[in-house]
Amino acid sequence: MTSTSASLPSHEPKHANAKYWMAASLPLATMVLLSMVFPPIAAWFLTPVALTPLILAAQGKRAGIRYLLYIWLISSIYYVVNLYWLSGITVAGYIALSIYCGFYLVVFFWLTHLVAKVIWLPIWVSAPMLFTSLEYIRGHLFTGFPWFTLGVAFANSPIILQCMSIFGAAGLTFLAVMTASIIADVARYFIGAAPHGQKRSLLAGVILVACIWLMVIIYGFWQFHHRPFRAGPRIAVLQQNIPQSIKSSNSITSQQRLFNSYYQLGLRAAREHPNLVVWPETMVPGFLNPSWLAQSPAWYVKGRGRRTLVMDQHFARRLTHFAKRFHTSVLVGASGVRFNKSGHVDRMQNIAVLFTPKRGEDHHYYAKRHLVPFGEYLPFKNSAPWLHHLLSYFTPFGPNGDYSLTPGDSWHHFVLDAGGKPYVFGVPICYEDAMATPARMFCQPHHGVKGADFLVVISNDGWYQSRPELLQHLQLDQVRAVENRISIARCVNGGYCGFINPSGRIIKLVSSDGHHAFVRGISVADILIDTRLTVFTRWGYLFSSWILGLTGLMLLGLGVSYLRLRRQSLGNVVSSAKSDGADAPN
């Protein structure tokens, strides 16, 4: 007896240490798994289990402030590691964004823990609702940052990807978290940590998740092999690796050299007889809006303003000549500018301009509508100048360089004449393709007909000399293609220019010696036309909105239940105190 009782204290610290290390390792395991499901590893098959360790931790007893801060720390480190390609642009903004994004995983953990402890609701119901809702908020709040949306990780699975035409990426996010929650509950049941009364609920959840996966796979096989496509126009995309340091040069000579390098690539593409030649975002290093080009150089005194205008007019003439000479349209990315009466710039825009064989420059251009915060605009310029100045330290330009753009005011469509047939297309610029809304707005039906025959994405990823960023950006376009059942031609400075069909399959990429990134070359393909209108194109974030509403109701119920428990607890304390007083001796 003596030896047995003496040995008990030595086992309790070991047991406590094991629980401590388990609690510490579970959130860390989730961050490792999340890092593996996205490029460059892209192990998409791990997506349904990535959140299982964190959900297991949320069902435990630890949820104090120290543990929440620990989860916030490792969540922030996860984003620091996986967004490292931002560090070369703005260190302060990169760190701030990582900390901000890490906060969402803390909120998910905390709310999942509270729901599990306070109200009766299976974790495989509450966790996917919470995670999908928080992901939606992160993708829209402060104009949104939808990078590393969990459902996007399935882009490398062409069969599973197909259901995004109905639910968008949120549908696969919900299913992945639901699966992770079921796995967590099954694990708890077999180790005896879950109440035995949950057996029926758990079995129902397992059957439900299995049935949903079966329907997703059947639908995916049907959609992937059912291809009602028809041949469309022939498109050529041009790719180079122009670092931002070279592109941002103010030297007229450097700008002319940049233009000439793409012009020479265009001459090479013209041999393939395309109907459209595409340049990346802002690779014409000047202003090409018609109101600027219509000005006379004589209005300017000799200096940089006149030289810039003369250079831009020269660029426009060469592009017009190219279009007429080769009987092909040319789409280029450039900038637009407008001056006020005092001669100062009062509007700058990021624009796409089309040059056609018949008309030359199209006087209607598309100006980017969804601007990137801290990169293309800074808030509070007029309402709170002090805050505007403080935020400037988080931009790539610093406090002395305000590169604020003016957003466009319409989803302008271009018309391409190819072999006597008109084709309508939209041009998401830069990270507009990271958001679901711009591509969907271009595809919105008019009189029951799809708004665009195809999309052309132009971007300048020369800011990032990182393959993971380029691959992650490519995945987002695969998702946009399936959401709207539309072909996408990608033209990106840096890499992965090519073509994606309406099933999200990458058809062709610019290649040099087997490499697709940081190389120079062209890619030409006949685009595929799909006239189907998807549920997502028609209704957009309908699924996400429903989940957001149900989550709000769940949190309302959580608040009511929590207050009820507090009242009961206080009532018990008062009753106990009265009872103690009544039993006290006189």
Q: Are strands 521-529 and 230-239 parallel, antiparallel or unpaired?
A: antiparallel
pLDDT of residue 401: 63
Mean pLDDT to the nearest integer, 515-522: 94
pLDDT in tens, 94-119: 999 999 999 999 999 999 999 998 88
Long-range contacts of 152-156 (CB under 8 A, 24+ apart): 152/38, 152/475, 152/476, 152/479, 153/37, 153/38, 153/42, 153/44, 153/47, 153/475, 154/44, 154/47, 155/44, 155/475, 155/476, 155/478, 155/479, 155/504, 156/42, 156/44, 156/475
pLDDT tier, 7 (very low <50, low <70, confident <90, very high otherwise):
very low
Average pLDDT over residues 544-563: 93
Lowest mean pLDDT among 180-189, 194-203, 432-441, 560-569: 194-203
Q: How confident is the model at residue 347 (pLDDT cuts 50, 70, 90)?
A: confident
pLDDT-derived band of residue 6, with 50, 70 and 90 as boundaries? very low
State mean pLDDT over 64-91: 94
pLDDT at 385: 76
> Residue 193 has what pLDDT?
72
Q: Has residue 62 got a pLDDT over 80?
A: no
pLDDT score recorded for residue 323: 96
| C-beta separation of 505 from 455 below 8 A | no
Q: pLDDT for 303-333, tens place per residue?
A: 777 888 999 999 999 999 999 999 999 999 9
Interacting residues of 9 by C-beta distance below 8 A, sequence separation 6+: none
Q: Tokens 């900390």, residue?
A: 99
Give the pLDDT score at 5: 41
Least confident of 82-86, 118-122, 525-529: 118-122
Residues paired with 426 in a beta bridge: 455
Instruction: Convert the pLDDT of each residue in 129-140 to its tens digit.
Output: 999 999 999 999
Range 470-487 average pLDDT = 97
* Cβ-proximal residues to 263 (8 Å cutoff; 6+ apart), any chain: 318, 322
Mean of pLDDT values over 186-190? 90
Q: What is the DSSP string of 162-180?
A: GGHHHH-HHHHHHHHHHHH
275 DSSP 8-state letter: S
- CA-closest candidate to residue 527, choices 327, 274, 329, 358: 274
Q: Can you give the pLDDT at residue 248?
A: 67
Question: 230-370+407-539: which CATH number, 3.40.720.10, 3.90.1280.20, 3.40.50.1820, 3.60.110.10?
Answer: 3.60.110.10
pLDDT in the model for residue 574: 62
Asked if the model's pLDDT at residue 181 lies above 90, the reply is yes
pLDDT at residue number 384: 75
Residue 550 has pLDDT above 50, yes or no: yes
355 Cβ neighbours under 8 A, 6+ residues apart: 316, 319, 320, 322, 323, 329, 330, 331, 332, 361, 362
pLDDT of residue 576: 67
Q: pLDDT tens, 14-55? A: 666 777 788 899 999 999 999 999 999 999 999 999 999 999
Q: What pLDDT is attached to residue 581? A: 61
Stretch among 260-269, 448-457, 517-526, 554-563 having the lowest mean pLDDT:
554-563
What does the pLDDT average to over 175-186? 96
Q: Would you place residue 71 in the very low, low, confident or very high pLDDT band (cuts 50, 70, 90)? A: very high
Tens-place pLDDT, residues 148-169: 999 999 999 999 999 999 999 9
Break the chain into its structural domains and give their ranges.
10-226+541-570, 230-370+407-539
Task: Summarize the confidence of residues 545-549 as an average pLDDT.
Answer: 97
Predicted TM-score (pTM) of this structure: 0.91
pLDDT of residue 3: 44
pLDDT at residue 127 greater than cutoff 80: yes
pLDDT in tens, 382-428: 777 777 777 777 777 666 666 788 899 999 999 999 988 999 999 99
**Mind listing the pLDDT tens digit for each residue in 194-213?**
666 678 888 999 999 999 99
What confidence category does residue 12 fall into, taking pLDDT thresholds of 50, 70 and 90? low
